[in-house]
């Protein structure tokens, strides 16, 4: 046994709930989630083993930037297409409460050029009536060859089991790529960087969280088994410093506490988190 795999790229507009889905499937938070746009920037693989199948889910950056050309968009676009290229199957995710059919058609046009099979999942069905989706499904079906449609509420854990059962049908004979205990292709440091970026997305607005670089420079397990972590935040523009620090340091305090709480949950250990702000992005 343990001899089948399937690689699925989860693609769709920013905020559709792609990262929330991957976390729910894997059962651990491996990809940050946020209501702001362009939360995911690098493709992250989430691994789920069920019976003899290893599912490899590629969480890709939101695909609403396909036409835009700024440097962040170019990076996201490259990561998105790499994720799609590596996968066997595309799971195209749509926020069911915000369907823009022109946008969906535009995206499906581009995606279909890959000649990969496409499954569509409507997410956030907790916010709408499912029957509202029927005319939309019919319009998509008239133009595109879609393998199957699913309705999900990832938040309420509805529809995911059925989706996995369907995806399993596309699994093919191959050795597993990851060992039984591995859940992602990324290491702890990447994950720690991402958690801090998520906290910064939560508390800071406009462009700042998109114009910083984070490096986890120190990770030390202390004698009493507490963990000491240092993270450096490189910021591009001088004026950001004041905003990130906030009044009497109140903003950076909120960010630090939020991030420390999340890391504590993840490692189930007492965490001492130190943040350092460094001007002039050297990366
Ligand atoms: N109501 C509702 N909200 C959801 C559901 N699934 C995800 N969300 C919310 O949608 C927002 C966006 O979720 P993400 O998982 O970050 O979206 P994403 O598609 O990965 O976004 P990008 O990384 O920016 O491309 C978050 O605030 C989630 O809590 C759902 O089933 N119902
Ligand atoms: Mg995401």
Looking at the DSSP bridge assignments, the partners of residue 55 are 6, 48
- Model-level pTM? 0.89
Q: How far is the CA of 59 from the centre of ligand 2 (A)?
A: 7
Ligand whose nearest atom lies closest to the CA of 44: 2
Structure tokens at 104: 């969906």
Instruction: Report the alpha-carbon distance of residue 184 to residue 13 in Å, rounded.
Output: 23
Predicted confidence at residue 65, as pLDDT, reads 52
Rounded to a whole number, what is the largest CA-CA distance in the chain? 64
Summarize pLDDT for 82-106 with one digit per residue, the tens. 878 899 999 999 999 999 999 999 9
pLDDT for 1: 58
Pick the residue whose CA is nearest to atom 8 on ligand 1: 17
Q: Give the atom of ligand 1 at the shortest distance from the alpha carbon of 154.
A: 31
The 8 Å CB, 24+ separation contacts for 69-72 are 72/38, 72/41, 72/210
Report d(CA 44, CA 61) in Å as an integer.
Answer: 9
Q: Are strands 172-173 and 4-12 parallel, antiparallel or unpaired?
A: antiparallel
N-term to C-term CA, the chain: 45
Which residues make up the environment of ion ligand 2, defined by Cβ < 5 Å? 18-19, 39-40
> How remote is the CA of residue 34 from the centroid of ligand 2, in Å?
8
For residues 145-168, give the mean pLDDT: 97
For residues 4-26, give the mean pLDDT: 95
Q: Which of 11, 16, 31, 33 to mutate to test the pocket of ligand 1 (most atoms within 8 A of CB)?
A: 33
Q: Which CATH superfamily is domain 4-173 in?
A: P-loop containing nucleotide triphosphate hydrolases (3.40.50.300)
Assess contact for 100 and 19: CB atoms under 8 A. no
By alpha-carbon position, which residue is closest to atom 30 of ligand 1? 124
Residue pair 183/47 in contact (Cβ under 8 Å)? The answer is: yes
Tell me the HSE value of 103 on the side-chain side, using a 13 A CA sphere: 16
Look at the domain 188-279 and name its fold.
Answer: GMP Synthetase; Chain A, domain 3 (3.30.300)
Tell how far the Cα of 21 is from the centroid of ligand 1, in angstroms: 8
CA of residue 267 to ligand 2 center, whole Å: 22
Same topology between domain 4-173 and domain 188-279:
no
Gap between the Cα atoms of 47 and 181, Å rounded: 9
Residue 109 CB neighbours (<10 A): 11
How far apart CA 189 and CA 212 sit, in angstroms, is 16
Quote the CA–CA distance of 221 and 281 in Å, as a whole number.
29
Distance CA 83, CA 192 (A): 22
Half-sphere exposure of 212 (CA within 13 A, CB side): 31
Q: How much distance in Å is there from the Cα of 34 to the middle of ligand 1? A: 7
**Residue 91 corresponds to which tokens in the numbers above?**
């799971």
Over the stretch 55-70, which tens digit does the pLDDT of each residue have? 999 998 887 655 565 7
- Torsion angle (degrees, nearest 10) of CA 157, 162, 164, 166: -160
- pLDDT, mean of residues 137-155: 97
CA–CA distance, 174 with 126 (Å, rounded to integer): 37
For residue 41, name the pLDDT band (cuts at 50, 70, 90): confident
Which residues have C-beta atoms less than 6 Å from ligand 1? 14-20, 33-35, 37-40, 61-62, 123-124, 126-127, 153-155
Give the domain ranges of the chain.
4-173, 188-279
């Amino acid at each position: 046994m343990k001899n089948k795999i399937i690689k699925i790229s989860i693609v769709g507009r920013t905020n559709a709930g792609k990262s929330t889905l991957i976390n729910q499937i894997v059962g651990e938070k491996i990809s940050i989630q946020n209501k702001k746009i362009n939360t995911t920037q690098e493709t992250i693989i989430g691994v789920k083993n069920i019976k003899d199948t290893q599912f490899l889910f590629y969480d890709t950056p939101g695909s609403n930037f396909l036409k835009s050309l700024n440097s962040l968009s170019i990076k996201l676009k490259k990561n998105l297409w790499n994720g799609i290229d590596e996968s066997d199957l595309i799971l195209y995710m749509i926020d069911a409460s915000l369907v823009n059919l022109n946008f969906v058609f535009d995206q499906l046009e581009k995606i279909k050029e890959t000649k990969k099979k496409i499954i569509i999942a409507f997410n956030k069905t907790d916010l709408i009536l499912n029957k509202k989706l029927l005319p939309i499904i019919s319009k998509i079906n008239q133009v595109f060859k879609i393998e199957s449609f699913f309705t999900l509420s990832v938040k309420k854990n509805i529809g995911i089991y059925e989706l996995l059962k369907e995806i399993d049908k596309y699994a093919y004979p191959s050795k597993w790529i990851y060992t039984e205990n591995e859940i992602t292709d990324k290491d702890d440091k990447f994950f720690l960087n991402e958690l801090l970026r998520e906290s910064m997305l939560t508390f800071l607005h406009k462009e700042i969280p998109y114009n910083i670089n984070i490096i986890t420079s120190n990770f030390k397990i202390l004698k009493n088994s507490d963990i000491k972590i240092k993270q450096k935040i490189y910021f591009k523009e001088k004026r950001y410093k004041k905003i990130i620090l906030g009044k009497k340091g109140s903003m950076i305090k909120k960010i630090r506490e939020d991030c420390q709480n999340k890391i504590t949950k993840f490692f189930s250990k007492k965490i001492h988190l130190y943040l350092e702000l460094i001007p002039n992005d050297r990366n």
